[in-house]
Structure 1
Amino acid sequence: MPIIQSLDRALKILDLFDERTRELSITEISKKMNLHKSTVHSLLKTLQAHRYISQNEETGKYMLGLKLFERGNLVVSNLDLRSVARKHLEWLSETTSLTTHLVILDGQEGVYIDKVEGSGVTVFYSRIGRRVPIHTSAVGKALVSSKDNQELKKLLKGYHFTKRTENSIGSEGDFIKEINQVRASGFAVDNEENEVGIVCVSVPIKDYSGKTIAAVSMSTPAASATDETLAYFVKLLKECTNRISRELGFEYEKI
């Protein structure tokens, strides 16, 4: 597999810093990398533009940027979240025989970070690491439901409401109306909006501060998604997310 040279060099620059080497001058980096200063300067400026490298204004030396801290914290929090949520996802799947998902928000998309296959219907579109549009998915709707309309409009700037099925929401106005309903009910539904023949329901997870940090969903065949069945699934989902949120320090009201 070919390696992209510029990316490889940029990552190696980041690896030069450790607990004992907090700052380096461009000359020092050039010597360690065995590269011309002009090449190193271009790489540093690119990393600096994306906040992976910062520069000490007094000494002119370079150091690791806050973007690495932000990304590192995201990875750690996701690992903690998965370990806390896993047994609850398994309980939910075993109770319903359905596939359960754990999803986080990344920009304008949801990202599956865990999945437990049910013994019933197989859901093909979901896999760990896959992204899903927020407007066609129950998890996407649940993830953004804690945002007020001003925050939501900011998030949706430049968003494309691509219709994946005939049922998909096709405009920002309709999406905001949908989110208002999600806020009122405490759960979100994907009514064959992402995959024909599959209905999903989802409920958000909150951390100790009350911030929505993830969502859990279940998928069921549309043919069996009666109002009574969905109400039962929502009840179980709320029990599941209640337990996860409590372990993360948030206290839900009793269902």
Structure 2
Amino acid sequence: MPIIQAIDRALNILDLFDDHDKELKITDISQRMDLHKSTVHSLLKTLQKHNYIEQNHENGKYRLGMKFYERGNLINRNIELKKLAKEHLVKLSNKTGKTVHLVILDGKEGIYIDKVESSSATVLYSRIGRRVPINSSGVGKALIAFKSQNEIDNFLKDYDFVRQTENTIMDKESLNKEFEKVRKQGYAIDNEENELGVFCIAFPIKNQNGQVVAAISTSTTVTKQDEVEFSETFKLIKLTAERLSNQLGFRGKLSNK
């Protein structure tokens, strides 16, 4: 597998900073990297543009930027959420016999941060770390639908609609209508929109401020889904989402059903 030299060099620059060398001059970086100062300067400016590096204007030295603090907090929150949710996911999977997912928003996509499969689970397409589109997934809709309309409009700017199946929502107007439906009913579904033959029910996980911090879903094959199955699964996933949200400080209702 080929290595992209510029990325490799940029990452090596970041690795130069530690508890001993919290700030470095461009000449120090150039010497340690065995690179010309002009090359190092270009790499630093690129990292600085994305807030991974910042410059101390008092002494001209460079140091790690606030982006690491932001990303570090995000990772810590995700780890805590994953720990908190694990028991709930296992119980839900055991009771429903379905694959259960925990998903967070990362940029313009959802990302699976945990997954539990029961012994009878038949849905195997997902994996932890895999990204999932917003427009074609139940969890994606649940992550975005409860934002303000202004936030949704900003999110959908330059959104890349990719067709997964013939049922995939492929335009902003239709997706906004779907978001409105999700808000009214309190949950989202994916009826063969992201994967043929797969049906998902998804609920948002809310924190003490009522903000959606994650989404939880159950997945099964369409052939196993009927009204009785939906009703039983719906009650269990709703209860799980509410209990998890309550643990995060949320005191409202996720659905009136």
TM-score bracket, shorter-length normalisation: over 0.9
Deviation for aligned residue 1:86: 0.8
CA shift digits 1:184-242 (9 cap, x unpaired): 11110011111122110000111233221110000122133223422322221121112
Alignment correspondent of 1:28: 28
Give the aligned length.
255
Shift in alpha-carbon separation, 1:167–1:5, aligned structure 2, 3 A: closer
Deviation for aligned residue 1:57: 2.3
Moved more, 90-99 or 143-152: 143-152
Moved over 4 A (4+): none
1:11 maps to 2:11: yes
Provide the TM-score with structure 1 as the length reference.
0.93
Moved more, 67-76 or 24-33: 24-33
> Residues of 2 paired with 1:198 and 1:61: CA distance?
54
Provide the TM-score with structure 2 as the length reference.
0.92
8 Å CA contact 2:123–2:221 kept in 1: the answer is no
Alignment correspondent of 1:81: 81
1:219 maps to 2:219: yes
8 Å CA contact 1:101–1:115 kept in 2: the answer is yes
Shift in alpha-carbon separation, 1:224–1:93, aligned structure 2, 3 A: same
Unpaired segments ≥5 residues, structure 1: none
Q: CA RMSD in A?
A: 1.8
Alignment correspondent of 1:127: 127
> Residues of 1 paired with 2:44 and 2:208: CA distance?
38
> What SS does the corresponding residue of 2:223 show, helix, strand or coil?
helix
8 Å CA contact 1:135–1:161 kept in 2: the answer is yes
Alignment correspondent of 2:190: 190
Superposed counterparts of 1:29-68, under 5 Å: 29-68=29-68
Deviation for aligned residue 1:148: 1.8
> Residues of 2 paired with 1:241 and 1:115: CA distance?
15
Deviation for aligned residue 1:161: 2.6
CA shift digits 1:91-114 (9 cap, x unpaired): 000001100001111122111111
Alignment correspondent of 1:201: 201
Deviation for aligned residue 1:26: 0.8
8 Å CA contact 1:123–1:219 kept in 2: the answer is yes
Percent identical pairs in the alignment equals 54
